[in-house]
Amino acid sequence: MRLLLFLFVLIPHFISAQDLTGKWTGKLPQDDKPYDFQLELRIEQNGEVLEGECKIIQPSTNNFVVQKFNGRVQNNRVRITEYEAIESTEAGDWFWCIKDFDGQLQINESSNEMVISGQWKGTGKLFAAGQYYGGNCTPGSFFLSKPIASEVTVSGRVYDIKTGEGIASSEINIIRQAKVKTDQNGNYKITLSPNEIYNLVVSKEGYRDFIAVLNTTVSDINQDYYLEQKQLEIKENERIKLNKVLFQRGKDVLMSGSYEQLDQLCDYLIKNTDKSILLEGHTDRLGNSKSNKELSEMRTEAIKSYLIKKGISKKRISTVGYGDSKTICKPPCADNRRVEFVIQ
């Protein structure tokens, strides 16, 4: 009976707090074979505990077996044990050996790699064609390596949990590290160090902050975040920005995401029938000032028309357009394009 080893790996604790999570590749010599098996491990690490899948391939036939394993890493000693075959191919009287691995973790600075090497032996179990058998196999050695990444790229999208739309210019603050803002579609990209745990805050005016923990492995990461809108806070005799009320560029046409905040304002006015509202429109200082003033007036009138359709008396709504005469940041600046209101 020909025996093919399958791998049980035991891995010691990581050097210099290196995370072993990721894909490892290498060779698996067996003492009675004239060739080396190809070896692939996918490791997930949680503290000292390891788990994952091991794939071993016979180079001449490309027959293979994939087995689950668990293990532990302590003081640079790595130990892993295979326990369940989940996929295999074989021919004739071929058997796969279920194995234990016992190796040492080292850093190869010249090749910028982490290396695990050591010995393996059978566990007294064999596997073939979906069945387990008693028996053992000739032991051997193994060698695995994985590049040490110098940086990890984290990218993704920040979106409104209710609408699913990307949130432009939202800020991702990696605490004590870096800040990045999303583009017009809510997408972001940032480069961080590998094998670190980062605390971050995703924020945008008008939304509740989202606090998260990011664990960077040696692989690039795709991570989306969602934000939930705050309720519009309305206080009498205070100027309040309608930060979610947006218009098509250069027009007085409301965009679809504007209505939730306008409906909140409408609800307030319906409940407080003794209150009136002053709407103030502003633009950025681009183009003709006269045209900007006309555009700001048209936009406040568009909001007034919406509130009237919702049942608010036009006598309770005043409007004024200031154009570009009251900018709040150096043009060009998106924050200059705004509508504010005062409850009177």
In CATH, what number is assigned to the domain containing residue 289?
Answer: 3.30.1330.60
Distance of CA 64 to the CA centre of its chain: 33
Q: Which among 217, 233, 303 has a CA at the least distance from the CA of 43?
A: 217
Q: What is the mean pLDDT of each run of 10 residues along the chain (344 residues)?
A: 41 51 92 96 92 95 96 94 95 93 90 92 94 95 87 91 90 90 94 84 90 80 89 88 88 88 92 95 92 95 95 95 93 89 94
Q: Which among 170, 144, 171, 153 has a CA at the least distance from the CA of 214?
A: 153
**Does residue 123 belong to any structural domain of this protein?**
yes
Task: Give yes or no: residues 267 and 280 share one domain.
Answer: yes
Is the Cβ–Cβ distance between 68 and 53 less than 8 Å?
Answer: yes
The helix-helix angle for 289-309 and 259-271 (nearest 10°) equals 60
Task: Give yes or no: residues 58 and 121 share one domain.
Answer: yes
CB-CB neighbours of 109 under 10 Å = 8
**Does residue 233 belong to any structural domain of this protein?**
no
**Which of these three, 177, 192, 227, is where a domain ends?**
227
Distance of CA 213 to the CA centre of its chain: 10
Task: Give yes or no: residues 119 and 28 share one domain.
Answer: yes
What is the tally of structural domains in the chain? 3
**Does residue 50 belong to any structural domain of this protein?**
yes
- pLDDT value of residue 12: 37
The parent domain of residue 303 ranges over 240-343
**Which of these three, 114, 147, 180, is where a domain ends?**
147
162/259 Cα distance (integer angstroms): 13
Q: Which residues contact 225 (CB under 8 A, 6 or more apart)?
A: 156, 157, 158, 159, 172, 202, 210, 212
Is the Cβ–Cβ distance between 6 and 85 less than 8 Å?
Answer: yes
- pLDDT value of residue 18: 63
- pLDDT value of residue 220: 76
**Does residue 183 belong to any structural domain of this protein?**
yes
159/99 Cα distance (integer angstroms): 47
Task: Give yes or no: residues 302 and 330 share one domain.
Answer: yes
- pLDDT value of residue 239: 92
CB-CB neighbours of 95 under 10 Å = 24
Task: Give yes or no: residues 16 and 104 share one domain.
Answer: yes
- pLDDT value of residue 105: 95
CB-CB neighbours of 338 under 10 Å = 21
Rounded to a whole number of angstroms, the CA Rg of the chain reads 32
